[in-house]
């Protein structure tokens, strides 16, 4: 098929020779159940944890292999798209006020900024984010329909309002899909357990308990790595913007805020229409921004932080318990009052759904060793991690992110196999001798999780 200019326009992929993205008319909605967010992917898939979920390209086909049936499916999900956090929404508003106070002339692609009114809220899901979670519930039902027709997932959520609401919307999407399936029984899920995020709470879906991780010197590593990278990529942008917006005199931090306003205004639109803030920056600048966000996750909660992966140990040990149908063995952040009780931590289910945050999911992925073949990210040059080995914040923990951990019963295999799929990308389990489809036997997979089974480095938490 010949791609005409009009065809490319429809895909939203026109960029001018200067590298700026030419805004293209948005279709009805940028989001879909199967493929997630697909408007202007050459920029929107580089917004780090502020990218809306999109189906990530996978080298290994992610479909359930024809000779296998799924016997178990755990989803670990981030909440849907939200407004900025309360602290950030204040800063963004101040930055806009500063621009309005000091700049008189808004022309060209800045014209919108003259009358832009800051109206974003704080902390809660946006309507777009709510729809993302319904879509996720529907997609999960469709993928696992053979099990989901007969079974209901056991659902847990971390306690923050947007996470609980995300779990509820996911349940709605699952329920709608099941209601429409004439082969399904009439049993539907609900949110079974909400785990408090209050100080001192043992919560495997929200970090907070490991004192030296939260307050020790290692809590600055991510900031330091990001600061170094800011000094590399922001000055040229800062010079251009301050030259274009005479009087603005924005700091490098305020330049990042201006970039943040692209994803946040985009997900504030019910259809996910690309915000005009996005066209103030080039495609390359968005890749640099995506890397800036990846540094935050890698050095904050991944293997770039000595105690990062340890924060994901509790959930990993709960996962082992579910996969093997044995009691949870863990002395880190699990709550044994909950986990030793079959009403709040059943072991006989085939389907499980847990709702959490980007930081916690990052720690869990690293506790599982999913990105153990990712070398440490440099902080002075961009690493094309997103292309080479699949680690980036946008690939792993976008708004509405979801990891699937599956057990497969396959012809020719006596033992069940385990596979892990992060946002539709199969993550080959190299740490336990992945086969050509990325899988390991259950015993090899559990065997490989010695880091989690031995409590990670939890002993250093109170050092």
Residues 6+ apart with CB under 8 A from 307: 210, 212, 213, 216, 218, 457, 460, 461
Distance CA 345, CA 10 (A): 47
| Among 30, 221, 361, 405, interactor with ligand NAG by CB under 6 A | 221
| Among 27, 57, 216, 455, interactor with ligand NAG by CB under 6 A | 455
Q: Does the annotation mark 207 as catalytic?
A: no
Q: What spatial distance separates the first Cα and last Cα of the chain, rounded to whole Å?
A: 63
339/358 with CB nearer ligand NAG: 339
* Residue 458 C-beta: closest distance to ligand NAG, Å: 7
44/192 with CB nearer ligand NAG: 192
| Among 32, 105, 384, 388, interactor with ligand NAG by CB under 6 A | 105
115-134 mask for ligand NAG (x: CB under 6 A)?
---xx---------------
- Residue 224 binds ligand NAG, judged by CB under 6 A: yes
What are the tokens at 246? Answer: 């005479």
* Residue 388 C-beta: closest distance to ligand NAG, Å: 18
- Residue 93 binds ligand NAG, judged by CB under 6 A: yes
| Among 26, 58, 142, 201, interactor with ligand NAG by CB under 6 A | 201
- Residue 107 binds ligand NAG, judged by CB under 6 A: yes
Distance CA 141, CA 404 (A): 12
* Residue 344 C-beta: closest distance to ligand NAG, Å: 7
Site for ligand NAG in 260-299 (CB under 6 A): 299
Taking contact as CB under 6 A, which single stretch among the options 42-50, 157-165, 325-333, 435-443 is the one that binds ligand NAG? Answer: 325-333
* Residue 430 C-beta: closest distance to ligand NAG, Å: 8
What's the maximum distance between 2 C-alpha atoms anywhere in the chain? 73
Tell me the backbone φ, ψ of residue 125, rounded to 5 degrees. Answer: -60, 150
Q: Are residues 452 and 311 in contact, defined by beta-carbon separation less than 8 angstroms?
A: no
- Residue 244 binds ligand NAG, judged by CB under 6 A: yes
- Residue 306 binds ligand NAG, judged by CB under 6 A: no
Strand positions, DSSP E, 143-222: 154-158, 191-195
Instruction: Determine the residue with CB nearest ligand NAG.
Output: 369
- Residue 324 binds ligand NAG, judged by CB under 6 A: no
Return the closest-CA partner of residue 373 out of 423, 313, 311, 428: 428
Inter-CA distances, 409 with 68, 70, 371, 415, Å: 5, 6, 25, 7
| Among 30, 62, 152, 225, interactor with ligand NAG by CB under 6 A | 225
- Residue 249 binds ligand NAG, judged by CB under 6 A: yes
What b/e string do you get for 60-94 counting C-beta neighbours within 10 Å, with b at 16 or more? bebebeeebebebbbbbbbbbbbbbeeebbebbbe
Distance CA 212, CA 219 (A): 8
425-444 mask for ligand NAG (x: CB under 6 A)?
------x-------------
* Residue 230 C-beta: closest distance to ligand NAG, Å: 11
Distance CA 433, CA 448 (A): 9
Residues 6+ apart with CB under 8 A from 71: 147, 350, 407, 408, 409, 416
Q: Does the annotation mark 358 as catalytic?
A: yes
Residue of 31, 45, 79, 457 with catalytic role? 79
* Residue 50 C-beta: closest distance to ligand NAG, Å: 18
Coil, strand or helix: which one is 325? coil
Inter-CA distances, 202 with 141, 233, 453, Å: 30, 39, 17
| Among 372, 389, 441, 460, interactor with ligand NAG by CB under 6 A | 372
102/179 with CB nearer ligand NAG: 102
Residue with tokens 């189906």: 55
What sign has the CA pseudo-torsion 227, 232, 236, 237?
Answer: negative
5/104 with CB nearer ligand NAG: 104
> Which residues of the chain form contacts with ligand NAG (CB under 6 A)?
89, 93, 105, 107, 118-119, 201-202, 209, 221, 224-225, 228, 244, 249, 251, 299, 329, 331-332, 335-338, 369, 372, 379-380, 431, 448-451, 455
- The residues annotated as belonging to the active site are 79, 358
């Amino acid at each position: 098929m010949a791609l005409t200019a009009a065809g490319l326009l429809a895909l939203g992929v026109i960029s001018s020779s200067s590298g700026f993205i030419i805004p293209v008319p948005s279709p009805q909605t940028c989001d879909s159940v199967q493929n997630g967010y697909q408007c202007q992917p050459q920029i929107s898939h580089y917004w780090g944890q502020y990218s809306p979920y999109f189906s990530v390209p996978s080298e290994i086909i992610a479909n359930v292999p024809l000779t296998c049936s799924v016997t178990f499916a755990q989803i670990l999900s981030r909440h849907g798209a939200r407004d900025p956090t309360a602290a950030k929404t204040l800063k963004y508003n101040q930055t806009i006020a500063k621009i309005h106070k000091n700049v008189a002339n808004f022309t060209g692609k800045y014209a919108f900024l003259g009358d832009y009114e800051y109206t974003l809220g704080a902390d809660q899901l946006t309507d777009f984010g709510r729809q993302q979670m319904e879509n996720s519930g529907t997609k999960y039902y469709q993928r696992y329909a053979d099990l989901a027709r007969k079974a209901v997932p056991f659902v847990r959520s971390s306690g923050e309002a947007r996470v609980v609401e995300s779990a509820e919307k996911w349940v709605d999407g699952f329920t709608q899909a099941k209601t429409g399936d004439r082969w399904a029984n009439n049993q539907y899920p609900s949110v079974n357990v909400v785990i408090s995020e209050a100080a001192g709470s043992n919560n495997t879906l929200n970090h907070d308990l490991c004192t030296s991780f939260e307050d020790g010197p290692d809590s600055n590593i991510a900031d330091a790595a990001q600061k170094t990278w800011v000094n590399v990529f922001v000055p040229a942008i800062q010079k251009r913007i301050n030259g274009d917006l005479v009087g603005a005199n924005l700091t490098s931090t305020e330049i990042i805020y201006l970039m943040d306003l692209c994803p946040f205004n985009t997900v504030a639109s019910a259809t996910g229409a690309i915000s005009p803030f996005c066209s103030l920056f080039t495609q390359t600048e968005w890749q640099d921004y995506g890397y800036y966000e990846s540094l935050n996750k890698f050095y904050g909660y991944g293997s770039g932080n000595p105690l990062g992966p340890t924060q994901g140990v509790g959930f990993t040990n709960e996962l082992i318990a579910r996969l093997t149908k044995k009691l949870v063995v863990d002395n880190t952040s699990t709550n044994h009052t909950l986990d030793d009780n079959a009403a709040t931590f059943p072991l006989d289910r085939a389907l499980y759904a847990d709702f959490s945050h980007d930081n916690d999911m990052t720690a869990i992925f690293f506790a599982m060793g999913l990105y153990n073949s990712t070398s440490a990210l440099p902080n002075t040059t961009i690493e094309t991690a997103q292309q080479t080995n699949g680690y980036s914040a946008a690939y792993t923990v976008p708004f509405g992110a979801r990891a699937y951990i599956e057990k497969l019963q396959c012809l020719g295999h006596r033992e069940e196999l385990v596979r892990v799929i992060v946002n539709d990308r199969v993550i080959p389990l190299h740490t336990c001798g992945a086969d050509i489809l990325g899988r390991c036997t259950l015993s090899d997979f559990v065997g490989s999780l010695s880091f989690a089974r031995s409590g990670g480095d939890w002993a250093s938490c109170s050092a």
